[in-house]
């Protein structure tokens, strides 16, 4: 594993309210290639546009391997005043993905409601 020039970004859209999901907490984990253990890399919070101010992983720090973004959906919707059941249907949304090319830009957007989500590799 060598240090590379790629970067990781994300964007969250709240499909319940039809707006960007500002103020959502997101954790990034990397799976250690030897032990397989999940290691927390960073925690970020989305801005008013549903994006993170800058890349989640900066250019030069993205390694190839397996990652997981954990979007704290229940916390976000409760902050928005949404009454959720207990337990909530989607408390956290873990998105596991692989980085094959550490020199590339990986964008992982999330479309989210309290009841459903979708994601894809964006640009």
- The predicted model scores a pTM of 0.94
Q: Is residue 12 part of a domain?
A: yes
CATH number of the domain at 102, please: 2.60.40.180
Give the whole-angstrom CA distance, residue 48 versus residue 94. 22
Give the whole-angstrom CA distance, residue 76 versus residue 56. 19
Express each pLDDT in 7-35 by its tens digit.
999 999 999 999 999 999 999 999 999 99
Range of the domain at 89: 7-119
Q: Is residue 1 part of a domain?
A: no
* pLDDT at residue number 106: 96
Q: Is residue 2 part of a domain?
A: no
Q: In total, how many domains does the chain have?
A: 1
* pLDDT at residue number 60: 81
* pLDDT at residue number 1: 41
Q: Is residue 44 part of a domain?
A: yes
One-letter-per-residue 3-state SS of the chain: CCCCCCEEEEEEEECCCCEECCCCEEEEEEECCCCCCEEEEEEEECCCCCECCCCCECCCCCCCEEEEEEECHHHHHHHCCCCCCCCCCCCCEEEEEEECCCCCEEEEEEEECCCCEEECCEC
Q: Is residue 55 part of a domain?
A: yes
Q: Is residue 45 part of a domain?
A: yes
Express each pLDDT in 70-107 by its tens digit.
999 999 999 999 999 999 999 999 999 999 999 999 99
């Amino acid at each position: 594993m060598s240090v590379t020039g790629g970067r990781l970004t994300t964007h969250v859209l709240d499909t319940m309210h039809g707006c960007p999901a500002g103020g959502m907490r997101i954790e990034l984990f990397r799976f250690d290639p030897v032990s397989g253990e999940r290691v927390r890399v960073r925690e970020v919070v989305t801005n008013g546009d549903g994006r993170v101010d800058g890349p989640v992983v900066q250019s030069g720090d993205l390694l190839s391997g397996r990652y997981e973004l954990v979007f704290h959906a229940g916390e976000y919707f409760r902050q928005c005043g949404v009454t959720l059941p207990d337990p909530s249907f989607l408390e956290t949304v873990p998105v596991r993905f692989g980085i094959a090319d550490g020199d590339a830009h990986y964008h992982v957007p999330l479309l989210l409601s309290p009841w459903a989500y979708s994601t894809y590799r964006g640009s």
